[in-house]
Amino acid sequence: MRVPCPECKNPLDLNETGTRFYCTTDWCAAFGMETPVWRALETADLAAPTPASLPRPVHHGLPVPWVAPCAAGKVWWRALDARRLADAQNNWLCQGCGLALPEEAWVMATPEGLQAALHETCVDMAQAFCPHLSSDTTRATPHLITRDQLFTDGRPVTHAPPSEPHFLHQWELEMDPIRRTR
């Protein structure tokens, strides 16, 4: 898929992690500047986000998470849509399916921090199909929590300003001995 630079219209290149596009045209004002995949697709009017739903659409035998950028039959598995992640954080939506969460939901704890919340069905799907969450190096652990147990910058998430695509909250769990894990 060719994603054009918004400045020079030449095709953008994808970085080595597959999460950002950048312009390689040395005379372009956007030369070397990286743009998240979801934003580049949206700017080029190529984005084809999947609807919030269960079961999830499938691509090459894999369920497509609601937060994965999509366009023209391609899924960018590693490049999460920060706008959708912010929406999931702010509105207590499942990052797997995009639907509203019950009072208790699952969050995945990884060395990088906590991931957005998931339904039980979606956490099972994520653990089964997401190589990042199921790898031995990540050792992701699901925790069943309520939104009231989440903190950011030392205060409850419910009292924090909303997450934004360019400033997603880093969630922390309240230290609660009755928190349940799998």
pLDDT in tens, 51-87: 999 999 999 999 999 999 999 899 999 899 999 999 9
Buried b vs exposed e over 117-146: b needs ≥16 C-beta within 10 Å?
Answer: bbbeebbebbbebbeebeeeebebebbbbb
* Separation of first and last alpha carbons in the chain: 40
Mean pLDDT value of segment 142-166: 90
Looking at the whole model, is its pTM more than 0.85? Answer: yes
